Amino acid sequence: MEMFTLASANWSFSVFLLTGFPGLQWAHHWISLPAFVGHLVALLGSATIWHLVRTDPSLHQPMYYFLANLAVTDLACAGARRPQCWVRWGSAPCILQQHSLHSFSFVESAVLFAMALDHLVAIRFPLRYASVLTGPRVALAWVMLGTQSAAITAAPSLHLLRFDYCSTDLTERDSNMKNSNSSLEFLPTKFILVGIPGLEAEHIWLSIPFCLMYIIIFLGNGTILHVVRTDAALHQPVYLFLAMLALAELGVSAPTLPTVLGVFLSGTTEMSSDACLFQMFPIHSFSIMESAVLLAMSVDRFVAVYSPLRYTAILTLPRIFGTGAIIGLKSIMLMAPLPMLLQHLPFCGHNALSHSYCLHPDLIHLPCGDTSINNIYGLFIVTSTFGLDSLLIVVSYGLILHTVLSITTGERRKKALNMCGSHVCAVLAYYVPMISLSMVHRFGCHVSPLLHSVMANAYLFLPPVVNPIVYSIKTKEIHRGIARMLSEKRARV
């Protein structure tokens, strides 16, 4: 805590300057979220314990009295703190705050010691426990501890008021902080997108297959979502996971539509930095979600093969929807730091991308500063999501294969393998282009830009194009649902 004086002649000072996390001023708004949640949990939790002990007669026992004392102490400590980042605060409130924090910290330590003595009495003298530790004695002990702590910390607080603090110009310090914050804004105002390198003259013709792919993606995945939602016969775990997969694939493809068609149809190659980061976030978030859904589908297939009689009892609707919510929340939380980290890297004028959309592996090659934090965190995301998901998918299919081989009937064995055929195609369509693109980005320094572009487009467009076609053809229930939907619409016409 740094201190400043406006009138050092009479040893007085009026303002303290508080700091948050040095070097992370740009992230203080995000850091305030866990700080706020922590304070809220501390206040609500401690207040709830104190209220329960006070109102419930069955809790009027020494050990719960001490617990209530601890809760009140924690409540006071949490109330004395408040999240502040680079703000001015008067000297008197600051001295009062530090006095309260230290006093209640001493009380908390003493209460923990008293609780240890309480357990000793309960174990050593169980018959005399209630007569030794009565309610008045417990209350008196807490009052004595509080008085002692306040007295101990009073003298240092009074001495702080008498110290001579060197004068420092607050205005100059504030301007320095603003300059240091503004110096972090290295992100270029615009990024330059490219279509397919070497084929710029043919972009208008190349827009035709891209338009067809978008039509297949939106019609195919949208149809699967609609059929699963409206057909009661498809409200089963395997089809609900399929609907999640279709939603994830729509989420990956939709953000790329404006820039891809803009580059190929109208030659629009400029994109603002904010729009680029905004596009990158859902692409990677839904891609993480897609990988997790494929893992959930492999677990679903394992349960269906290994324990078909308990299938619906294990994979209930609440568990499926809970799994979907956890997958979505995990994807958003993992991707949230990446745009913020990119915003504070020096790009030194480098703004030419390799694709017609923004991907993190492409953006991270542009900065001229230290990108080690971004690379480490990116590696953590890849390992904890795609790497772990793919490993668990392989394990689940190993278990499925072991279960299938133990089936004696050939017909049942064939049926069990057919249940997994569509999902295997979906896994291959997703992971093969992704692994190939990663290899090209990491080790293909001398590979032609054309191959980079082709692999990136295959990574984004192959799974959402292939999966609706495969599931519509190979899954009889989805095929029947689509046919039923079309026949109902034809009957209305």
User: What's the token pair of residue 405?
Assistant: 């081989």
Confidence of residue 24 (pLDDT cuts 50, 70, 90): low
- Residue 394, pLDDT > 80, answer yes
**Residue linked to tokens 């030419």:** 352
**Nearest to 328, CA basis, from 251, 395, 253:** 251
Fold agreement between 2-182 and 190-492: yes
**E strand spans, 34-160:** 88-90
Count of other CB atoms within 10 angstroms of residue 332: 15
**What gap in Å lies between CA 58 and CA 71, rounded to an integer?**
18
Please tell me which residue, 425 or 164, carries the higher pLDDT value: 425
CA distance between the termini of the chain: 75
- Residue 136, pLDDT > 50, answer yes
Per-residue confidence (pLDDT) for residue 443, from 0 to 100: 66
Kindly report the CATH class assigned to 2-182.
mainly alpha
User: What's the token pair of residue 189?
Assistant: 């105002």
Q: Are 102 and 81 in contact (CB under 8 A)?
A: no
User: What's the token pair of residue 355?
Assistant: 């694709």
Q: What is the pLDDT of residues 314-325, one digit of tens each?
A: 888 889 999 999
Give me the DSSP letters along 227-292. HHHH-GGG-SHHHHHHHHHHHHHHHHHGGGHHHHHIIIII---EEEHHHHHHHHHHHHHHHHHHHH
Confidence of residue 326 (pLDDT cuts 50, 70, 90): very high
Q: Are 69 and 138 in contact (CB under 8 A)?
A: yes
When mean pLDDT is compared across 114-123, 239-248, 433-442, the lowest value belongs to 433-442
Predicted model pTM: 0.63
Average pLDDT (282-291) is 92
User: What's the token pair of residue 31?
Assistant: 């850091």
User: What's the token pair of residue 155?
Assistant: 């003298």
Q: Look over the chain and give the mean of its residue pLDDT values, rounded to a whole number.
A: 78
Give me the DSSP letters along 27-62. GHHHHHHHHHHHHHHHHHHHHHHHHHHHH-GGG-SH
Per-residue confidence (pLDDT) for residue 392, from 0 to 100: 92
Per-residue confidence (pLDDT) for residue 1, from 0 to 100: 42
Give the helix, strand, coil percentages of the chain, each rounded to 5.
75, 5, 20
Is 385 exposed, middle or buried, given 0-12, 13-18 or 19+ CB atoms closer than 10 A? buried
Confidence of residue 408 (pLDDT cuts 50, 70, 90): low
Q: What is the pLDDT of residues 187-199, one digit of tens each?
A: 667 888 888 877 7
Where in the chain are the domains?
Answer: 2-182, 190-492
Share of the chain above pLDDT 70, in %: 81
* CATH number corresponding to 190-492: 1.20.1070.10
